[in-house]
Structure 1
Amino acid sequence: MNRVIERLSGSIREYRRDSILTPGFVTLEVIMEILIPLVLAGLIDDGITAGNMNIIVKLGLVLLLFAVMSLVFGVLAGKYAAAASAGFAKNLRHDLFHTIQNFSFANIDKYSTASLITRMTTDVTNVQNAYQMIIRIAIRCPLMLVFAFLMVVGIHAELSLIFLVLLPLLGIGMYLIITRAQPLFELVFKTYDSLNKVVRENLRGIRVVKSYVREDYEIKKFRNVSASIYGYFSHAEKILAFTSPLMQAVVYASILLISWFGAQFIVLGSLTTGELVSLISYSMQILMSLMMLAMVFVMITMAQASSRRIVEVLDEEVDLTNPADPIFTVANGDVEFRDVGFRYTKDTDREVLKDISLKIHAGETVGILGGTGSAKSTLVQLIPRLYDTTKGTVLVGGVDVREYDLNTLRDAVAMVLQKNVLFSGTVRDNLRWGNPDATEEEIVRACRMAKADEFIGTLPDRYDTRVEQGGSNFSGGQKQRLCIARALLRKPKILILDDSTSAVDTRTDAQIRQAFKTEIPETTKLIIAQRIASVQDADMILVMDAGRICALGTHEELLQNNAIYREMYRSQMKGDDV
Structure 2
Amino acid sequence: MLIRLLRTYLRPYKKPIVLLVLLQFLQTCATLYLPTLNADIIDDGVVNGDTGYILSYGAVMIGISLVQVVCNIGAVYYGARTASALGRDMRAAVFDRVQSFSAREVGQFGAPSLITRTTNDVQQIQMLALMSFTLMVSAPIMCVGGIVMALGLDVPLSGILVAVVPVLGICVTLIVRGLRPLFRSMQTRLDTVNRVLREQITGNRVIRAFVRDDYEEERFRKANTDLTDISLKAGNLLALMFPVVMTTVNLSSIAVVWFGAHRIDGGEMQIGDLTAFLAYLMQIVMSVMMATFMFMMVPRAEVCAERVQEVLDTESSVVLPKAPVRELRRHGHLEIRGAGFGYPGAEEPVLKGVDLVARPGETTAVIGSTGSGKSTLLGLVPRLFDATDGQVLVDGVEVAHLDAALLARTVGLVPQKPYLFAGTVATNLRYGNPDATDEELWHALEVAQAKEFVRKLEGGLNAPIAQGGTNVSGGQRQRLAIARTLVQRPEIYLFDDSFSALDYATDAALRAALGRETAEATVVIVAQRVATIRDADRIIVLDEGRVVGEGTHQELMADNETYREIVLSQLTEAEAA
Q: Is the TM-score greater than 0.5?
A: yes
Q: TM-score, length-normalised on structure 1?
A: 0.97
Which deviates further from its counterpart, 17-26 or 47-56? 17-26
> Which ranges in structure 1 are unaligned for 5 or more consecutive residues?
none
> What corresponds to 1:148 in structure 2?
146
**8 Å Cα contact 2:412-2:493 kept in structure 1:** yes
Rounded to whole Å, the distance in 2 between the matches of 1:385 and 1:480 is 22
Alignment correspondent of 1:257: 255
Report the AA paired with residue 331 of structure 2: N
Q: State how 1:128-143 maps to structure 2 within 5 Å.
A: 128-143=126-141
CA contact (8 A) 1:11 1:95 kept: no
3-state SS in 2 of match to 1:136:
helix
User: Which of 439, 461, 464 lines up with 1:463 in the alignment?
Assistant: 461
**Match for residue 391 of structure 2?**
393
CA-CA distance at 1:8 after TM superposition: 3.9
Question: What is the alpha-carbon distance in structure 1 between the residues aligned to residue 257 and residue 221 of structure 2?
Answer: 53
Q: How many Å separate the matches in 2 of 1:206 and 1:373?
A: 26
Q: Which residue of 1 aligns with 2:338?
A: 339
Query: What letter matches 2:131 in structure 1?
Result: M
Distance in 1 separating the partners of 2:471 and 2:241: 53
Matches within 5 A, 1:96-495: 96-330=94-328, 331-345=330-344, 347-495=345-493
Letter in 1 for 2:561: A
- The 2-side partners of 1:385 and 1:469 are apart by 25
Among 17, 32, 35, the alignment partner of 1:34 is: 32
d(CA) in 2 for partners of 1:264, 1:62: 32
Which one is further off, 224-233 or 315-324?
Answer: 315-324
Structure 2: distance between partners of 1:332 and 1:7: 46
The residue identity in structure 2 corresponding to 1:75 is I
Measured after TM superposition, the shift of residue 275 of structure 1 is: 0.5
Whether the 8 Å contact between 1:342 and 1:389 is mirrored in structure 2 is yes
Q: Deviations over 1:343-374 (max 9, x none)?
A: 122x4441111111222222210111111100
Q: Deviations over 1:192-233 (max 9, x none)?
A: 000000110111111111222211111111111111111111
Q: How much does 1:154 deviate?
A: 0.7
- 8 Å Cα contact 1:452/1:482 also seen in 2: yes
User: Does the CA contact (< 8 Å) of 1:371 and 1:545 recur in 2?
Assistant: yes
| Distance apart, 1:98 and its partner CA | 1.0
Q: Structure 1 residue 25 and structure 2 residue 23: aligned?
A: yes
Query: Cα distance, 1:6 vs. partner?
Result: 2.5
Instruction: Please identify, of 14-23 and 263-272, the stretch whose mean Cα deviation from structure 2 is larger.
Output: 14-23
Does the aligned pair in 1 maintain the 2:76–2:133 contact within 8 Å? no
- 2:18 and 2:505 mapped to 1: Cα distance? 68
For these two proteins, the number of residue pairs brought into alignment is 575
Note if contact 2:358-2:523 (Cα within 8 Å) is conserved in structure 1. Answer: no
Amino acid at match of 2:137: I
State the AA in 1 paired with 2:170: I
Task: Answer whether contact 2:358 2:524 (CA < 8 A) is retained.
Answer: no
Which residue type is aligned with residue 455 of structure 2?
Answer: G
What secondary structure is seen at the aligned counterpart in 2 of 1:395?
strand
Structure 1 counterpart of 2:123, which letter?
T
Partner of 2:552: 554
State the Cα RMSD in Å.
1.4
Q: Distance in 2 between matches of 1:40 and 1:501?
A: 84
In the alignment, what sits opposite 2:44? 46
Counterpart residue number, 2:503: 505
What are the Cα deviations for residues 463-505 of structure 1, in whole angstroms up to 9, with x where unaligned? 1111122212211111100000101111101111111111111
Listed as ranges, the gaps of 5+ residues in structure 2 are: none
For residues 410-443 of structure 1, give each alpha carbon's deviation from its aligned partner in whole angstroms, at most 9, with x where no partner exists.
2211111111111111100110001001112211
Q: Is the 8 A contact 1:352 1:547 kept in 2?
A: yes
Q: Is the 8 A contact 1:367 1:541 kept in 2?
A: yes
Letter in structure 2 aligned against 1:51: G
User: Which letter maps to 2:115?
Assistant: I
Residue 61 of structure 1: how far off its partner (Å): 0.9
SS of the residue aligned with 1:372? coil
Question: What SS does the corresponding residue of 1:158 show, helix, strand or coil?
Answer: coil
Structure 1 residue 322, shift from structure 2 partner = 2.1
Inter-partner Cα distance in structure 1 for 2:148 and 2:247: 23
Structure 1 counterpart of 2:517, from 516, 519, 524: 519
The amino acid of 2:332's aligned partner reads G
Give the Cα separation in 2 of the matches to 1:42 and 1:299.
39
Deviation at 1:336, TM superposition (A): 1.1
CA contact (8 A) 1:46 1:55 kept: yes
Question: Structure 1: how far apart are the matches of 2:26 and 2:354?
Answer: 71
Letter aligned with residue 405 of structure 2: N
- 2:52 and 2:316 map into 1 onto residues whose CA distance is 73
The one-letter amino acid paired with 1:47 is G
1:51 counterpart SS class: coil
Distance 2:286 2:10 in 1: 29
